[in-house]
């Protein structure tokens, strides 16, 4: 029995070639991280709503905290890598293929994973020695680090210090790099129609980073649980939901690839 051979037209080759550029490599990683990010909190929240039970075990709370910190930091670092990729592509187009080599792209993602794993592991392990009262109630829809530290019966000065330092360093530094990259991009493409797309990217990134930084840095002051929960929803649910629309569904190459998959003629 002969196997059926499938040949791609030149237009198909061109389409798939564009989808293997560094931008789509980072986008694939961002999509995976966003899926994991929402999976750490949303399924448990929906289960609580369905069963009318808001109980979570200590091990489950620690696990949720670890994966949440991991995915949140990884999301932030990949967004900064994507901003750097766009900066090089627009501000240094002739050197783009040299600078953004596959080795550098893989290294950026690998370093992002290592930093995120080490940070989440450190902060989670530092919670284990703390003592908590039995039957404690977290005024939140998931086990967020700053909310859990507030309920500890033992001293949390070292935990708070590490949390604030990590938030400023690993959250503020990528945000500053993103803002710098997009400021250079906007100045380079001022008056071009693609500036609108950059503005939408920057708005989502700012929403994610600013609400995340605000939740953790404002925990040093007195803050209502309602406002903290609202801010957490913004960067745990809203921004991962907006990312596919901003980075994928508005992209011509991905739209063409989807149309070819479902059999819709592409003009």
Q: What's the confidence (pLDDT) of residue 4? A: 44
Q: pLDDT tens digit string along 185-221?
A: 877 776 554 444 566 666 667 667 777 666 666 655 5
Classify burial at 223, counting beta carbons within 10 Å of its beta carbon; exposed 0-12, middle 13-18, buried 19 or more: middle
Q: In the beta sheet, which residues pair with residue 132?
A: 152
pTM: 0.76
**Which residues of the chain are under the pLDDT cut of 50?**
1-19, 193-196
CB atoms within 10 A of CB 203: 12
């Amino acid at each position: 029995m002969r196997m059926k051979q499938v040949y791609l037209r030149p237009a198909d080759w061109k389409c798939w070639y564009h989808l293997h550029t560094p931008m789509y490599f980072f986008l694939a990683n961002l999509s995976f991280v966003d899926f994991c990010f929402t999976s750490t909190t949303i399924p448990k929240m929906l289960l609580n709503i369905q069963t009318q039970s808001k109980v979570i075990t200590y091990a489950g709370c620690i696990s949720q905290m670890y994966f949440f910190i991991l995915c949140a930091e990884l999301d932030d670092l990949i967004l900064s890598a994507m901003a750097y990729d766009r900066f090089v592509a627009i501000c240094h187009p002739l050197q783009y293929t040299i600078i953004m080599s596959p080795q550098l792209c893989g290294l950026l993602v690998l370093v992002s994973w290592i930093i995120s794993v080490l940070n989440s592991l450190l902060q989670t392990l530092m919670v284990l020695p703390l003592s908590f009262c039995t039957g404690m109630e977290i005024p939140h829809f998931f086990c967020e680090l700053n909310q859990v530290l507030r309920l500890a019966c033992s001293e949390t000065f070292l935990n708070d210090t590490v949390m604030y330092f990590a938030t400023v360093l690993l959250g503020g530094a990528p945000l500053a790099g993103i803002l710098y990259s997009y400021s250079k991009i906007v100045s380079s493409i001022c008056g071009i129609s693609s500036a609108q797309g950059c503005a939408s990217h920057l708005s989502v990134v700012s929403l994610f980073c600013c609400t995340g930084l605000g939740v953790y840095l404002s925990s040093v002051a007195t803050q209502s649980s309602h406002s903290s929960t609202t801010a957490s929803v913004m960067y745990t649910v809203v921004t991962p939901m907006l990312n596919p629309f901003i980075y994928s569904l508005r992209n011509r190459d991905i739209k063409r690839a989807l149309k070819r998959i479902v059999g819709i003629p592409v003009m």
